[in-house]
Amino acid sequence: MKDLDIEITLSSKKKTIPPFDQLEFGRTFTDHMFIWDYTEGKGWHDPRIVPYQSIALDPAATVFHYGQTVFEGLKAYHTKDEQILLFRPDQNMKRLNRSNDRLCIPKIDEELALSALKQLIAVDRDWVPTVEGTSLYIRPFIIATEPHLGVEPARNYRFMIILSPVGAYYKEGINPVRIAVESDYVRAVAGGTGNAKTAGNYAASLKASESASENGYSQVLWLDGKERQYIEEVGSMNIFFKINGEVITPVLNGSILEGITRKSIIELLKYWNIPVVERKISIHEVQQAYNDGLLEEAFGTGTAAVISPIGELFWQNEKLAINNGEIGQLSKKLYDSLTGIQKGTEPDPFGWTLKL
Amino acid sequence: MKDLDIEITLSSKKKTIPPFDQLEFGRTFTDHMFIWDYTEGKGWHDPRIVPYQSIALDPAATVFHYGQTVFEGLKAYHTKDEQILLFRPDQNMKRLNRSNDRLCIPKIDEELALSALKQLIAVDRDWVPTVEGTSLYIRPFIIATEPHLGVEPARNYRFMIILSPVGAYYKEGINPVRIAVESDYVRAVAGGTGNAKTAGNYAASLKASESASENGYSQVLWLDGKERQYIEEVGSMNIFFKINGEVITPVLNGSILEGITRKSIIELLKYWNIPVVERKISIHEVQQAYNDGLLEEAFGTGTAAVISPIGELFWQNEKLAINNGEIGQLSKKLYDSLTGIQKGTEPDPFGWTLKL
């Protein structure tokens, strides 16, 4: 593996690390951050680790106006034997480059970016929390920095990595969440940016989440933008249903994000010989399965929450209570196995984890 | 009209104003900018005009990650009698608030925002260019500044206005442009953010423009995301067709931007008693009209270019040459009339212009 030669400036004034049992999601950041600049004609240059600080940008920087930005999210876990594990970080770097391609952002060298990520965590390794359910959330992202109001790809970019020690994403923890099926708003459509991890997708989702939240639901279930019946994602997670013994997840169609947790769940189920299929699945089919008593479990998957069981689906004024609003056996088993692999308490037959 | 009480800090080091006959679009900015901050529980506060400078933001600011941002674009014109005219700025502030609503950004007071805009231009009035075809481009925008990685509306925002003296948007000037009909990518779909002026829509458009550009086309014609046949916009402009004496523009459907130039063109045509209709129009209908010799003119409309005649449409390997690739009579008349009103050389029967 290649190493990136990084200039490191250590912080002279360390922050107080917050108590690991009181962490919120994404509000506290570590002592350092990584920066790598891109200049047209020169490529990516001056990789450096510096004290965590504000960045100065021209108010005309493209990112503010035309949203040319991509990001990733992954986690580092503290093991019982004092090691730090990353979960499939190579997959995040690959996806970052796929997002870059869609957003006309110059590609990064995936191995060098991963080297930067490892070096940054090594510098801030005291920030990887040790309490059950916590982890160090890692946010690599790229923004267009050129001050130019013409609608065209920028000539200058900045790649950064910031780190945040986090508790559980949902206050409910692993308890099931209540989800409202979204009928008015659409997250993404084929030909759009739905399968890229870019800011605009998340901005587009806020309004629907706000309405759902006002009605007591924590997330929305997104239907396809074309026929408004096929299930795409739940909030900012992928979704799985267990119907009559078979696990079904919407097939990647260009508007669904290619989740790394999603991919891992599919691989884990196949390894266990549990039937799993990627295909189109409509909300009508889910309702029919519910009516027939065959809808056994439903859960969202993502880096932030890992597995998020769905206890209730609200659709056309009807409440579908899944598994009596309790976490299903398979959801629980997947959560335990996946987080076990991530934290190094379970064997890792796939070689998914990377020791720092 | 209400006035906003603004603290003004003048620049001690004025920049050299560039020659007005050598302006590019959106690369040069004036000496000052306007800033207005929003804090949850406190509202919009501390409106100020300060020297144009970089802004410092936490790398975790929501705008970088989840794209919560909106913007506007309008122009100020220098008249022959040394006055400065704004074109329908109230419409921009109204649209900004509609975009705010879609993006879960707190509303601004439209009159106060317009007051800020006028005061900023007054401070930098020497920058309003005097050469034919030039203007001062005005870019109000709002970004979410709270440092938080959770996907939810931010608690802090910044409203800014920056100014840029500009020449023509297209190097071709008022000459007709060549447009490729886009078959792979989609700009927006009903239920998405297409009718909001927000960054993600523009980020989503870059890839298609890049492909079109490689094939010698300056913009793409966007079709609807659902059936991929109804015409939506052209590049970042609205579009009009003149077919057999009647002017047709796609009806606002939730995914098309409500252009202020578009609205003005419709009002102008009605005033002239020229038949104009807002309705769905498919690319097949345009092709049929072309085949029948009835497609007389086509043009894009927007603040940046005002009127941009379309000389050629490329669709399914066929080149549709419109009006022999020359600017049409009506396009020319609309351009002359609208820019005449904007610059104060033509009467303004609608009361569209606002004197500074």
Q: How far apart are CA A161 and CA A30, in angstroms?
A: 11
* Closest Cβ opposite residue B206 in set A68, A187, A228: A68
B232-287 pLDDT per residue, tens: 999 999 999 999 999 999 999 999 999 999 999 999 999 999 999 999 999 999 99
Q: Per residue in B110-122, is it b (16+ CB within 10 Å) or e — as a string?
A: bebbbbbbbbbbe
Whether B15 and chain A come into contact, CB under 8 Å, resolves to no
Map residue B255 onto helix, strand or coil: coil
> Which residues partner with A57 through β-bridges?
B55
Q: What are phi and psi for residue A39, nearest 5 degrees?
A: -130, 130
Optimal mutation site among A29, A65, A141, A230, interface B, most CBs of chain B within 10 A: A65
What is the number of helices (H) and of strands (E) in chain A? 7, 19
Q: Which residues are CB-neighbours of B313 under 8 A, at least 6 positions away?
A: B179, B180, B181, B221, B286, B290, B298, B319, B320, B322
Task: Show residues of chain A in contact with B189, CB under 8 Å.
Answer: 186, 189, 192, 225-226
Q: Per residue in A95-117, is it b (16+ CB within 10 Å) or e — as a string?
A: bbbebbebbbbbebbbebbbbbb
Residue A169 has pLDDT above 70, yes or no: no
Contact between B179 and B217 (Cβ < 8 Å): yes
Residue A87 has pLDDT above 90, yes or no: yes
Judging by DSSP bridges, how do beta strands A156-166 and A135-144 pair with one another? antiparallel
Cβ <8 Å between A200 and B198 = yes
> Which residues partner with A51 through β-bridges?
A32
* Closest Cβ opposite residue B150 in set A26, A65, A201: A26
Per the listing, tokens 């409509």 go with A282
Whether B219 and chain A come into contact, CB under 8 Å, resolves to no
Task: Show residues of chain A in contact with B153, CB under 8 Å.
Answer: 206, 210
Q: How far apart are CA A238 and CA B127, in angstroms?
A: 51
Is the pTM above the cut of 0.95? yes
Instruction: Over range B148-162, report the average pLDDT.
Output: 97
Task: Show residues of chain B in contact with A201, CB under 8 Å.
Answer: 67, 200
DSSP string, B86-121: EESHHHHHHHHHHHHHHTT-----HHHHHHHHHHHH
Q: Residue A150's pLDDT is what?
A: 92
Supply the mean pLDDT for chain B: 95
Cβ <8 Å between B162 and A59 = yes
ipTM entry: 0.96
A114-131 pLDDT per residue, tens: 999 999 999 999 999 998
A216-231 pLDDT per residue, tens: 999 999 999 999 999 9
Residue A158 has pLDDT above 80, yes or no: yes
Task: Show residues of chain A in contact with B206, CB under 8 Å.
Answer: 66, 68, 103-104, 151-153
Whether B190 and chain A come into contact, CB under 8 Å, resolves to yes
Of the two residues A11 and A133, the one the predictor is more confident about is: A11
CB < 8 Å from B in window 288-317 of A: none
Instruction: Over range B113-139, report the average pLDDT.
Output: 96
Task: Show residues of chain A in contact with B68, CB under 8 Å.
Answer: 203, 206
Q: Residue B170's pLDDT is what?
A: 60
Whether B18 and chain A come into contact, CB under 8 Å, resolves to no
Shortest Cα distance, chain A CAs vs residue B224, angstroms: 10
Contact between B197 and B99 (Cβ < 8 Å): yes
Q: Residue A173's pLDDT is what?
A: 61
Structure tokens at B140: 């109000």
Cβ <8 Å between A59 and B199 = no
What region, left, alpha or beta, does residue A254 occupy, with left being phi > 0 and alpha being psi -120 to 50 degrees?
A: left
Q: How far apart are CA B47 and CA B49, in angstroms?
A: 7
Q: Residue A171's pLDDT is what?
A: 59
Q: Residue B167's pLDDT is what?
A: 87
CA nearest to A158, candidates A323, A39, A333, A18: A39
Whether A126 and chain B come into contact, CB under 8 Å, resolves to no
Question: How far separated are the first and last CA of chain A, in Å rounded?
Answer: 13
